Amino acid sequence: MHATAAAAPPITPQASTLARAAWLAYFFLIVYASWYPFSGWHDLGIGPLAYLNWTVPHYWTRFDVATNVVGYIPFGILTVYVLYPAIRGVWAFLMTLLIGALVSGLMEAVQTFLPTRVPSNLDFITNFAGAVIGAGIGMATIDKLLGRDRLRTLRQRWFLLDSSAALVLVTLWPLAQIYPQPYLFGHGQLVPIVSDWMSDLFESPVDIAAWLRQGVQLSVEQYWLSETVITACGLSGALLALLCLLRPLAPRARLVMCLIGAALLVKALATALLFTPDNAFAWLTPGAQGGILLGVLMVSGLAFAPPMAQRRLALATLLISLLVVNIIPANPYFVATLQSWVQGKFLNFNGAAQFLSLLWPFCAVLFLLRSERQPSGG
């Protein structure tokens, strides 16, 4: 008697750690974008929900409506994914709508106490509409991505265990290119912000970067060299952070090229949209081109290095980039170009973009330091 083949065990639905980490990160982006710049809090004597009874504002534009809708679509998608598998079907859809309404309503209500922000029932409606669309997309895609375990299988095949939060951090790196920066991949410019804060505190000019430079003036060639160092270190740090998450059989070259391509594409589109189409590639200076080439060469030689070496080199390059970008002055050409940036139409998102640009390298450094204390997942 022949033994019959055992039936394949059914797939047990499991919650997605990656979806939870992505949802949390996106939630903080919404908070930052909605409440930026977090200053001047005061009570105007108006109820936080009074905006719901106001007439629809006359100053809205199609761009405002579109960005408000699009901004909440990923939130709706991720909320459906986070609820799975505990809540599924129509209940997941309804719960997502409720969460979207509560989050959007809270963001607008708090703006009542911010003098630079204006709560609007139109913003609430458009944000909620984005959450509805996102919930629909999430319901349509969750079975293919999570229900049939394809996404989990792919992640386990390519990436180390317990890498979900780090993956979210790495995938946020291209989005960190949206906010205008003096130097390509020169994230984490904290010193100018601290200098401005201290100047307001002491009511006198404070320039920490100038104190660190001790009066050293940079020539054009030195600007280019500094940009090359910043670009190369920023690029290699992000790519090495990705590489140390990969398993040996992962398509390393393709994933690295996709990350580089996504970052450069976002940079070009954001520059064209924030300024003019003619400036779409104004950031691709000789120093930036040299930095890209140098960064790619550095990563190519370390693609198959041990994860520990990749982590330590990623940490070193990010720290070098942070040091240089906070010491040298902004490129004069960038300062002139920045004057043409009209931030008004990006009021809801320029804060979130600046948040990513400022904090991404610091979060990456913390992740790499934490990884040094833990064994690599198999």
| 280: CB partners within 8 A, 6+ apart | 268, 269, 271, 272
Q: Are 243 and 253 in contact (CB under 8 A)?
A: no
Alpha carbon distance 345, 354 (integer Å): 15
pLDDT-flagged residues of the chain (< 70)? 1-14, 36-39, 56-61, 63, 147-152, 196, 199-220, 273-277, 330-352, 372-378
Q: Are 358 and 187 in contact (CB under 8 A)?
A: yes
- Residue 38 Rama label (left phi>0; alpha psi -120 to 50; beta): left
Question: What ranges in the chain are assigned the alpha helix state H?
Answer: 17-35, 62-83, 90-110, 121-142, 150-158, 164-172, 191-202, 208-213, 220-243, 252-274, 286-301, 307-327, 332-338, 350-372
Q: Are 242 and 170 in contact (CB under 8 A)?
A: yes
The per-residue pLDDT for 4 is 42
The per-residue pLDDT for 256 is 92
Question: What ranges in 111-219 are assigned the alpha helix state H?
Answer: 121-142, 150-158, 164-172, 191-202, 208-213
| Prediction pTM value | 0.65
The per-residue pLDDT for 345 is 45
User: Would you give the distance in Å from CA 285 to the centre of its chain?
Assistant: 24
| 69: CB partners within 8 A, 6+ apart | 126, 127, 129, 130, 133
| 78: CB partners within 8 A, 6+ apart | 19, 22, 23, 26, 134, 138
The per-residue pLDDT for 149 is 56
Alpha carbon distance 361, 319 (integer Å): 8
Alpha carbon distance 328, 210 (integer Å): 8
